[in-house]
Structure 1
Amino acid sequence: MGRPTRWATDTKPGHSQWYVERFRQMAADGEDLVGEARLVDAMVPRGARILDAGCGPGRHGAYLHAVGHTVIGVDADEELIEASKADHPGPTWLVGDLSELDLRASGITEPFDAILMAGNVIVFVAPGTEVDVLRGLAGHLAPDGFVVTGFHTDRELSVADFDAAVAASGLRIEHRFATWDLRAWHEEAGFAVTVLRHA
């Protein structure tokens, strides 16, 4: 693994288990936790290959697997990957640093039709690795595939800095929205959902 992610350095001890239990409780309460995954499902044909990058405890990858896609989930946090394996059998769940992503080393050689990076993942990577993360995703993306990512714009990463990282990564911005349900983007939005494709 490379430099510690902000998920590791900027959260308190026990945060990962708290996060797992929080989403388990929300699921038990019947809350809608897969809006991001539904968006991706609407953008790909049935049976697509999808990478859940920064998959956390696996809710998005689990949904996408259940509706008929081949899903690989990767997260740097071993505790979250263990929760994914326990709660959501079916997808392939792997521990890995997105800034050093090389799934070919794990025998996964086919590119992905879609890559989902939800849940502020890009905000929680190690500082200064945003270009490396996006470049690594681009290297695993099919020629006509896409990356979709969302993050709060009031955190450590500004939209301008994200856009600069995109430009340096070999990707380009195709669409931007203010929410995962595709409300129009505006400069005062507190959230940015961006669809990226190869430049």
Structure 2
Amino acid sequence: MDENASQNLWATMVANDPEHSRRYAERWRRLASEGMDLDGEARLIDAMASRGSRILDAGCGTGRVGGYLARSGHQVTGVDLDEHLIEVANEDHPEADWYVADLESLDAEALATLGESEPFDLVFSAGNVFGFLSPSSRGDVLRHLRGLLRDGGRAVIGFGAGRGYDFADFVDDAGRAGFHCQGQFSSWQLDPFTDDADFLVAVLSR
């Protein structure tokens, strides 16, 4: 097997540069303090979910998206493998529940050990998380996310081009995981998806 197929890119970057996560978190805090609009993803997810929905932020980072959704009245659980980013999420967005957990091994059993055993209404992954997954784990991650949803629940996955995961391959993997692709867009503002799009937002249903 190709060695790169078993490597999570984020974990590799942090191992090579222990200050990477701290700089990443400080950047988002600085942008927020400067008044930049950082809520585009959250507004879309909020519009798709009934008030009070159970929502999983898969690869939550600093919690900026899930925090917005929690303050909007949803029950938000966020997971990320980076301990520092989870610390920041807890500090900045205490309205939600944040856990250190590896998305590549997060199935229903693993989530239950964190005290989360009820299915989710909606799962989302923003911030190019799928571009950081080890290639060998992608199919399993999609299957696990589907398994965490209630019947009729939806997943919204967004990531950019040039990150080692071809958009067509992602859609094929999602289908093999049991998802139905309801729509593909080129931005979190739902701009039309074209063959030369440099970003994909996929809306998947269980």
Question: TM range, normalised to the smaller chain?
Answer: over 0.9
Q: Which amino acid aligns with 2:10?
A: W
Q: Which amino acid aligns with 2:202?
A: T
- Gaps of at least 5 residues in structure 1 are none
* Paired position in structure 2 for 1:164: 172
Cα separation, 2, equivalents of 1:92 and 1:33: 20
* Paired position in structure 1 for 2:87: 82
* Paired position in structure 2 for 1:73: 78
Contact 2:13 2:20 in 1 (8 A): no
Structure that is richer in helix per residue: 2
1:19 and 2:24 aligned: yes
Contact 1:178 1:191 in 2 (8 A): yes
1:189 and 2:203 aligned: no
* Paired position in structure 1 for 2:114: 106
Cα separation, 2, equivalents of 1:165 and 1:99: 15
RMSD, matched Cα? 1.2
Determine helix, strand or coil for the equivalent of 2:99. strand
* Paired position in structure 2 for 1:175: 183
Cα separation, 2, equivalents of 1:46 and 1:138: 21
Q: Which amino acid aligns with 1:193?
A: V
Cα separation, 2, equivalents of 1:78 and 1:10: 14
Deviation of residue 183 (structure 1)? 0.5
- Gaps of at least 5 residues in structure 2 are 1-5
Question: CA separation of 1:76/1:68 partners in 2, compared to 1, >3 Å: closer, same or farther?
Answer: same
Select the residue among 9, 12, 22 that pairs with 2:12. 9
* Paired position in structure 1 for 2:3: none
Q: TM-score, normalised by structure 1?
A: 0.95
Cα separation, 2, equivalents of 1:187 and 1:152: 13
User: Which moves more between the two structures, 150-159 or 187-196?
Assistant: 150-159
Moved over 6 A (4+): none
* Paired position in structure 1 for 2:37: 32
Question: CA separation of 1:135/1:35 partners in 2, compared to 1, >3 Å: closer, same or farther?
Answer: same
Contact 1:6 1:127 in 2 (8 A): no
Deviation of residue 4 (structure 1)? 4.8
When the two structures are aligned, how many residues end up with a matched partner?
Answer: 196
Residues 147-176 of structure 1 show CA distances to partners (whole Å, capped at 9, x for unaligned) of 001111222111122122212211121110
User: Which moves more between the two structures, 19-28 or 85-94?
Assistant: 85-94
% same residue: 46
Contact 2:59 2:81 in 1 (8 A): yes
